[in-house]
Amino acid sequence: MAAKVRPLIAGNWKMNGLKSSALREVKKLAGRMHKAGRTGCDVLLCPPVPLLAPLRVVVKGSRIALGGQDCHAAANGAHTGDISAEMLADAGCGYVIVGHSERRADHGESSRDVRAKAKAVHRAGLRAIICVGETGAERKRGQTLGVIGKQLTDSLPKGCTAENTVVAYEPVWAIGTGLTPTVDDVAQVHAFIRARLQRRFREHAQGMRLLYGGSVKASNAVELMAVANVNGALVGGASLTAGDFWPIVKTCI
C-alpha cells in the first residue's frame, strides 16, 4: 500500500521571467493561496537565479518555497558561470532540480553528473528533485522502463530519503508539446519507479514524492494527480502565471 504523502506542486520557470512580471504573478499566486487558507500540498517555484532575491521578499510569510533549476557539484571554486547548492541555500532555496532533460540534452549531463549534483544538494541540506524520463524514440522502441531504471540507478546517490529527495518523471516527448502519456502509462512508470526506490532505499521509498511533469495544465491536472504513486507535478509553461498555475495548485487543496 502506498503511504499518504503530502503532494508537491512545483513550477520550473526555465529561462523565463523578468522582475516586474515575476513579482506581479507571484504576488497574485500568494494572494490566492492566502485567500484559500490551508493548502493540502507544498508549493514550489524555481525561477531563474536573478529572480530569487526579489521573489524571496514576496514569498516571505506565504507558503511558497523557492528552488534552483540546477547546481554545480562543488561547493565553490573556479567554475565561471556556475552556482553551488550552498549558494542556492544561502539565497533562500529549499529545493534544487537536477538532471532535467534540458540539462541532460543541452549541456551533455550524464546520470553520473546528475548524481554528483544531487549529492551536492543533500550536502547543502536541501531537497533534490531528480528528473528522469524517456525520449519519444525510446518509448517507441519499448525501452521506457529500461531507460528509466538505468537513470534511477545512476542518478540517485546513496542516502536518499523521503525528506531529501523527490523524483520527477518527465517523458522528454511530453515536455512543452501539449502531449501527455495516458494515465495508465503514467501509473505504470510511477509504480515501476516506486518499486525501484523500494528495492534500494527500503523504508525511505514509501514517503518519497514522485512528480509527473510534461504538459501539465489546469485541464489535465485533476486526472494526472489522481494516478496512483503520483504525488504532485513539475510544471513548466503553466507555472509562469498565477492564472495558469493556481488552478493546478488548487487540485491539491
User: Which of the following is catalytic: 86, 102, 134, 170?
Assistant: 170
Q: How far is the CB of 113 from ligand 13P (least distance, A)?
A: 18
In angstroms, give the least distance from the CB of 70 to ligand 13P: 11
Q: Copy the grid coordinates of residue 188.
A: 505504470
Is residue 170 near ligand 13P by the rule CB under 6 A?
Answer: yes
- Residues 210/193, Cβ–Cβ less than 8 Å: yes
Residue 151 in contact with ligand 13P, rule: CB under 6 A: no
- Helices 242-250 and 218-225 pack at an angle, to 10 degrees, of 20
- Residue 193 CB, shortest distance to ligand 13P, in Å, is 16
CB of 166 to ligand 13P, least distance (A): 12
214 binds ligand 13P (CB under 6 A): yes
- From residue 82 to residue 101, what is the string marking binding to ligand 13P with x (rule CB under 6 A)? ------------------x-
234 lies in the site for ligand 13P, by CB under 6 A: yes
The CA–CA distances, whole Å, from 20 to 17, 153, 173 equal 9, 41, 32
Single out the segment in contact with ligand 13P by CB under 6 A; choices: 56-64, 79-87, 183-191, 228-236.
228-236
User: Is residue 223 annotated as part of the catalytic site, yes or no?
Assistant: no
Q: Is 176 in the site for ligand 13P (CB under 6 A)?
A: yes
Query: How big is the site for ligand 13P, counted in residues (CB under 6 A)?
Result: 14
Q: Which cell is 222 given?
A: 485533476
> How does DSSP assign 9-70, residue by residue?
EEEE--S---HHHHHHHHHHHHHHHHHH-S-SSEEEEE--GGGHHHHHHHHTTSSEEEEES-
Which lies closer to ligand 13P via its Cβ, residue 86 or residue 170?
170
**181 is a contact residue toward ligand 13P (CB under 6 A):** no
Q: Please report the beta strands in the chain, taking only residues with DSSP state E, as ranges in sequence order.
A: 8-12, 42-46, 64-68, 93-98, 127-132, 165-169, 209-213, 232-235
Length, in residues, of the chain: 253
Instruction: Choose, by CB under 6 A, the member of 44, 175, 242, 248 that binds ligand 13P.
Output: 175
Q: β-strand 209-213 against 165-169: which pairing, if any?
A: parallel
When asked if residue 117 is in the footprint of ligand 13P (CB under 6 A), the reply is no
Q: Rule CB under 6 A: say whether 213 interacts with ligand 13P.
A: yes
Report d(CA 130, CA 117) in Å as an integer.
9
Q: Could you say which of 72, 100, 122, 190 is catalytic?
A: 100
**Least Cβ distance, residue 156 to ligand 13P (angstroms):** 18
Q: Answer yes or no: 138 catalytic.
A: no
CB of 30 to ligand 13P, least distance (A): 21
Number of other CB atoms surrounding residue 146 within 10 Å? 12
Return all residues near 107 (Cβ < 8 A) that are at least 6 apart. none
End-to-end CA distance of the chain: 23
> Which residues are at the interface with ligand 13P (CB under 6 A)?
12, 100, 170, 175-176, 213-216, 234-238
Positions marked active-site: 100, 170
